[in-house]
A and B are shown apart, each in its own frame.
Chain A
Amino acid sequence: MGGMTGFLSIDLPAILAATFACLSCALVGNFLVLRRQSLMGDAVSHAVLPGIVAGFLVAGTRDTFPMLAGALVAALVAGVLIELVRRLGKVEAGAAMGVVFTGMFALGVVLIEQGAARAVDLDADCVLYGQLEAVLWFGPTDLSSLADPAVWSTLPRQVVQVAVVFFLCLALIVLFFKELRLVSFDPALADTLGIPAGLVQHGIVALTAIAAIAAFEAVGSILVIAMLICPPATARLLTDDLKAQVALSLLVGGITGVGGYVLGAFGPLALGFETSLNAAGMIATLSGLFLALAILLAPRYGVLAKRRRARAAALDLAAEGV
């Protein structure tokens, strides 16, 4: 398998899976970053691990539904546990979250090791780094075959899964944008208006869990955490309008998804090395790079812009002879 067929069967499905995973995470990540709850994405994506593994062990397959169901149960359990630890231990929410999500992640790793002992096809590496290379599309043979609907029906399950989740998140966020904006900005006002802030906040956590679960199989939990935070944080620095921020985060997420894969897969070859880099790692690195650039160069919040304004203010003062 070489040339165009190789690209269509190996690289294209991987790019699609990675990009949709990036887009879903970037989209829901906006509301975590706004509520200064970026760590929540980290917590959720770790806490759902035992549920994913349990779903996998019980069903014995990598089908989406059992793993998703297990993960949602785990997310619920994590929510209850965090609240219990917070109340009984009289500690702040961050501490309770830290204890619960590391504990549940550890439980997930133990379950994986136990599963591996029973020769189950699941290991800790694929949880952390994903298995983009396992996303294969045995359908298209050349570009013209992409015009055939029958070829699209053979699209790999992982791609369909992340695409469905992305469009679900997009639809919900477009439909309830007004409520999400209100609850993220001023939950107390939402409550006095009779719009239940707690319900909407739980909805955000549930969407985060769904996006994280759908994305994690393809790209792993490290990339999930990076994509939940980096594109929205980058977009936040570039605009003061929430709609523009969400749109920009999707743009950044899409560019890092495609760009990171292409750089990882073909970058070293182009430089004359006989190897390629882990695509998920490259995507996460690229998203970090974009965030660093935004921190430096953003028009209003960037380090350079702030320094320029400070210098201009100092010059003004000097000109006035103070």
Chain B
Amino acid sequence: MLQRLRSLDFIPPKEAGVSPLLVKGLTVAYHRRPVLWDVSWTAPQQGLVAVVGPNGAGKSTFLKAVLGLVPPLAGTVEVFGRPLARQRRLVGYVPQRESVDWDFPVSALDVVAMGRYRMIGWGRRVSKAHRQAALHALDRVGMADFANRQIGQLSGGQQQRVFLARALAQEARLYFMDEPLAGVDAATERAVLDVLRDLDSQGRTVVCVHHDLQTVADVFDHVLMLNVKVVASGPTREVLTDANLRATYGHRASDAPLLP
């Protein structure tokens, strides 16, 4: 069953050199104010990518527009060479924690299992195998003991890890994460970094909105520097330069902590 569903989504062989994500001319405006302007970007074949930029640079909007959650004025998005709508199965998303109502009457395991609803299919129950897979994903972020806890009774960091586990349970090839390391405790930071490294070593691509310039070079091999337009993108070593940072953050020094 899983095999059959997976075969619906098309993953070209690595040798073909088709990028996991190809964005062309993406433009988004809220109330006539441009938030993203003509953003074109090709994701690397694999690895961890940080999306950096000042507040209001359109980083979260970039993720949402790529995922089809906000309507673009113009532009196209291709996942592994095909339109996103036909490749949804290959894409996982970790939104900001504030995006949902944590008082909702579901357990941590229920939330993680949601990542598998597309595989399970309309109108079908969550089978034991899928529940087991969800539990395994919770275990990978050190949250197996909290599986049956209502999500409102978890700490902020634990909630973040539940979201991460849900994305893992999707078994996607291309991940988008919106500030997974923002304001989390030490245990959660370790769990997130472990998962990122795991995904990297499995040849997945992870695109992360990241706010902390101090740690970009430690964690991410690639950066996309964004301020409404693309300022620079490429391997972190080459691209994360003072000149590019100034170009991205402008003169607002408070937004741009200097590199160590």
User: A residues near B, CB below 8 A?
Assistant: 34, 36, 175-176, 178-179, 181-182, 184-186, 188-195, 236, 239-242, 244-245
Given A185-B104, A189-B93, A239-B105, list of 7 further CB < 8 A pairs?
A188-B93, A193-B88, A193-B117, A193-B170, A236-B105, A240-B105, A245-B105
Q: Tell which of A184, A191, A242, A245 touches B69, judged by Cβ atoms closer than 8 Å.
A: A191
State A200–B120 Cα separation when bound (angstroms).
17
Give complex CA distance A176, B124 in Å.
Answer: 8
Q: Which of A176, A193, A195, A241 has the most CB of B within 10 A?
A: A193
- Of B69, B111, B114, the most chain A CB neighbours within 10 A belong to B114
Q: When the two chains form their complex, are residues A186 and B100 in contact, meaning their CB atoms are under 8 A apart?
A: yes
Q: 22 A-B residue contacts at CB 8 Å? A: A36-B101, A175-B123, A176-B123, A179-B117, A181-B110, A182-B114, A184-B104, A185-B104, A185-B106, A185-B111, A188-B93, A191-B68, A192-B91, A192-B93, A194-B85, A194-B89, A194-B118, A195-B117, A195-B118, A236-B105, A242-B104, A245-B105
- In the bound assembly, the distance between CA atoms of A107 and B150 in angstroms comes to 45
Is the CB–CB distance between A241 and B122 below 8 Å?
no
The answer on a CB contact under 8 Å between B100 and A192 is no
A residues less than 8 Å from B106 (CB atoms): 181, 185, 241-242
Cα-based distance from A175 to B170 in the complex (angstroms): 22
In order of increasing CB-CB distance, the 6 nearest A-B pairs are A240-B150, A194-B88, A193-B118, A192-B93, A242-B105, A175-B123
Query: Smallest CB–CB gap between A123 and chain B, Å?
Result: 41
Q: Mark B170-189, 1 if CB is under 8 A from A, else 0.
A: 10000000000000000000
Tell me the dominant secondary structure on chain A's binding face. helix
Rounded to whole angstroms, the CA-CA distance of A284 and B123 in the bound complex is: 34
B contact residues around A194 at 8 Å (CB): 85, 88-89, 118
Tell whether, in the assembled complex, residue B110 and residue A188 are in contact, meaning their CB atoms are under 8 Å apart: no
Asked if B7 is at the interface (CB within 8 A of a chain A CB), the reply is no
Q: Closest CB-CB distance, B91 to chain A, in whole Å? A: 6
Tell me if A179 and B91 are in contact (CB < 8 A): no
- Which residues 131-175 in B have Cβ within 8 Å of A in the complex? 150, 152, 166, 170
Closest to B64 in A: A188
Output the least CB separation between A246 and chain B (Å).
10
In the assembled complex, the CB of B70 is this many whole angstroms from the nearest CB of chain A, namely 10
Residues of A within 8 A of B170 (CB): 193
State whether B105 touches A188 (Cβ < 8 A): no
B68: chain A residues at CB < 8 Å are 191-192
Q: How many angstroms from the CA of A240 to the CA of B170 in the assembled complex?
A: 25
Establish whether residues B99 and A188, one from each chain, have CB atoms under 8 Å apart when the complex forms. Answer: yes
A-facing residues in B74-125 (Cβ within 8 Å): 85, 88-89, 91-93, 95, 99-101, 104-107, 110-111, 114-115, 117-118, 120, 122-125
Across-interface contacts of B118 in A (CB, < 8 A): 193-195
Q: Do A182 and B104 contact each other (CB < 8 Å), given the known contacts A175-B123, A240-B150?
A: no
CA distance A191 to B118 in the complex (A): 11
Is B35 engaged at the interface, CB distance under 8 Å to the other chain? no
CA distance A240 to B126 in the complex (A): 19
Question: Would you call B256 an interface residue if the criterion is a C-beta within 8 Å of the partner chain's C-beta atoms?
Answer: no
CA distance A236 to B166 in the complex (A): 25
Given known contacts A176-B123, A178-B124, A185-B111, A192 and B104 CB-to-CB distance under 8 angstroms: no
Does B239 have its Cβ within 8 Å of any Cβ on chain A?
no
Complex alpha-carbon distance, A189 and B166, angstroms: 10
A172 CB, min distance to chain B CBs, angstroms: 10
A236, B150: Cα distance in complex, Å: 13
Alpha-carbon distance between A193 and B9 when the two chains are bound, in angstroms: 13
Q: Is B67 an interface residue (CB 8 A)?
A: yes
- Distance of A200 Cα from B149 Cα, bound (Å): 27
B211 to chain A, nearest CB (A): 20
Given A178-B117, A178-B124, A178-B125, is A192 in contact with B99 using a C-beta cutoff of 8 Å? no
A185 and B122 contact, CB distance less than 8 A: no
Nearest B residue (CB) for A241: B105
Closest to A30 in B: B105
Q: Which residues of B contact A184 (CB under 8 A)?
A: 104
Residue of B nearest to A244 (CB): B105
Q: How far is the CA of A117 from the CA of B108 in the complex (A)?
A: 59
Provide the residues of chain A in CB contact with B67, threshold 8 Å. Answer: 191-192
For B117, list chain A residues within 8 Å (CB).
Answer: 178-179, 182, 190, 193, 195
Contacts of A181 in B (CB 8 A): 106, 110, 114
Enumerate chain A residues within 8 angstroms of B107, measured Cβ to Cβ. 240-241
C-alpha gap A34/B89 in the complex (Å): 28
Question: Max chain A CB contacts within 10 Å: which of B64, B99, B117?
Answer: B117
A185 and B69 contact, CB distance less than 8 A: no
CB distance from B38 to the nearest CB of A (A): 24
B137 to chain A, nearest CB (A): 14
**Contact A178 B150, beta carbon cutoff 8 Å:** no
Residue numbers in A under 8 Å from B124 (CB-CB): 178
Chain B residues with Cβ below 8 Å from A34 are 104-105
Q: Specify which chain A residues have a CB less than 8 angstroms from the CB of B125 in the assembled complex.
A: 178
Smallest CB-CB separation from A178: which chain B residue?
A: B117
